[in-house]
Structure formats: C-alpha cells, structure tokens
Amino acid sequence: MALRLHELHCSLGRRKVLQGLSAAPLNHGQVVAVLGRNGVGKSTLLRSIAGTVPCTATQLHLGDLDLRPLRPAARAETIRYLPQASPGALYLSVQECLAVALNAHHRHPAEETRQRIAIVASDLGIDTLLERPVDELSGGQRQLVWLAQSLIHQPRALLLDEPLAALDPNFQHHVMKLLRRLAEERALLVLVVLHDLNMAMRYADQALVLQDGKVLAQGPVDFALSPETLARAFRVRARIEPCSQGTSMIVIDDLLTL
C-alpha cells in the first residue's frame, strides 16, 4: 500500500507551482517530511493530493484507489488534510469539534459518535478537554484537537501542513512523537510539511525535498538531507553532526550566496 505520484502539475493563477512532480512510492506506516524553501510547492502538493486545488497527473493513486476523478469530499473518505491556517473564533466545545468531524460526511448514531470521540480523545490524551470551549485551549492543545478531528475517521493517509508552527518545543516533540506512533500503529501514511530540519531528522522516516515544483531529493532522512542537497534546496552551508544518543543533527554554518 503506497501513495504514487507521477507528473503532477498544478497552477495557481498564472503561476505554475508544481511542474511535473514525480516521486517514488510513499509507503504506509511512514512519516514523510516534506521540506523545501517557502514557495516551492509544499502546501500545494498536499492540497493537490487532498483535491482542494485543481491539478493534473498521469498517476495519483493511494493503493489501488485512483484519486484523480474524486472530489475533495470523496477523497476525505481515505485522506485527511489539515491546512496550516487555523480557524477563527469558534463557539464550540472540543467534543462538538470532534462530533462535527465524524458526522459532517455521514451521520453516525449518537452512541457511536460518543464512543469514537472517547477513543480518539483518549488516544491523543485530550479526554479531559472534551467539555472545554476550543477557543480557550492553548495553541498546542488546539493542534491536538485538529489532529483528533483528522483521525476520528480512521484515514489511510494524513496530510499535515506545518502542524508545528507556533507550538512550543514541548508540544512540537509531543506532536511528532504522536505522529510516529500513529503511523506505526495504524499503518498510516503521514505527509508532514516541516521547516525544522532537525525535527525531520529525528522523527521522519523519509524526506521529500522540493525545489521549483519538483522533487529534488527523496529517501531516508539521513540520505536525502545531505549537505549537498541542503545547499541546493535551502542555499545554506550545512553539516551533519552525530549526536551522543545516536541521532544526527543538522548544523547550519552560513548562508550561500546566490
């Protein structure tokens, strides 16, 4: 089971954002970090897969399912996309947020709704927040609620656009550990847009590095995030340093001139 992308094209207005993007199959049970400079097409890639922007591709399959003819609502059966932008003021409790996520497409009986909310809330450690108004939660807690919204439908792929933005270090690691566990336990494919290269090094199985709407490098993070790739993708002089606990760390020494 894998997500297959081939010759993916997407334009926003007159700007060609994705220009024939192709990638090796992205296997389920993995966390894939989507990396690249601002404007290279990371968010557009996720939105193209979710179907919220029009795109063309010679192949866009999740397992045997051809996503191309499916509208966003139909793709949501198997893929859940979490945009970067947070909703504005909401007069809803956490429980209501989760109930909406479950019932927006198909209505479920009240008892089943309660049970599935309880399961996902317990899994993500937000069961004590269910009665709280979502507006009164911290940024990290809200992010967990949005994740729970995406997971309550038990999708096969999760597309997350910068879920760590504006989170403190504790919540950043909490969310990434959670994604790793969910990917392994549920055989879930997690595509996550990140800007923190060390977060990618530590928690992602694979990196998908984009440049100018195409894949510049793809593979296991240690392999894909080489100093050469980082120089081309981010225009920085970087080195990979082994840390005492066995993980590697990217240290950026300087910017490269254009």
Partner 1 sequence: MSAGASHTNAPRRAMRVRMLLAWVGALVVLLGIDLTTGAASLSSSEIWHSLVNPQSVGSTEHLIVWQLRLPQALMAIVTGAALGLAGAEMQTVLENPLASPFTLGISSAAALGAALSLALGVHLPGIPVEYGVTANAFLMGLLCALLLDHAAKRLRMAQHGIVLLGIALVFGFNALLALIQLVSDAAALQNLLYWMMGSLGKSRWADVGLLSAVLAFAGVFSMRQAWRLTALRFGEERAASLGVDTKRVRRHALMRVSLLAATAVALVGVIGFVGLVAPHIARRLWGEDHRWYLPASACAGALILLAASVCAKQLSTQIEIPVGIVTTLVGIPFFMVVLSRRRLG
Report yes or no: 206 and 26 within 8 Å, Cβ to Cβ.
yes
Of 146 and 234, the one with the shorter C-beta distance to partner 1 is 146
Report yes or no: 188 and 182 within 8 Å, Cβ to Cβ.
yes
One-letter amino acid at 76 equals A
Distance of alpha carbon 128 from its chain centroid, rounded?
25
Cβ neighbours, 10 Å, residue 250: 19
* Range in contact with partner 1 (rule: CB under 8 A) among 113-121, 182-190, 201-209, 214-222: 113-121
- Ranges within 178-237 binding partner 1 (CB under 8 A): none
Q: Rule CB under 8 A: say whether 115 interacts with partner 1.
A: yes
In the sheet that holds 15-27, the strands lie side by side as 15-27, 2-12, 59-62, 65-66
Of 45 and 101, the one with the shorter C-beta distance to partner 1 is 101
Of 85 and 258, the one with the shorter C-beta distance to partner 1 is 85
Q: Rule CB under 8 A: say whether 104 interacts with partner 1.
A: yes
- Ranges within 42-61 binding partner 1 (CB under 8 A): 47, 50-52
- By CB neighbour count within 10 A (0-12 exposed, 13-18 middle, 19+ buried), where does 85 fall? exposed
Q: Rule CB under 8 A: say whether 72 interacts with partner 1.
A: yes
Q: How far apart are CA 10 and CA 21, in angstroms?
A: 9
Q: How far is the CB of 45 from partner 1 (least distance, A)?
A: 14
Binding footprint of partner 1 on the chain (CB under 8 A):
47, 50-52, 71-73, 76-77, 79-83, 85, 87, 90-93, 95-97, 99-101, 103-107, 111, 114-115, 117-119, 121-122, 127, 130-131, 146, 149-150, 153
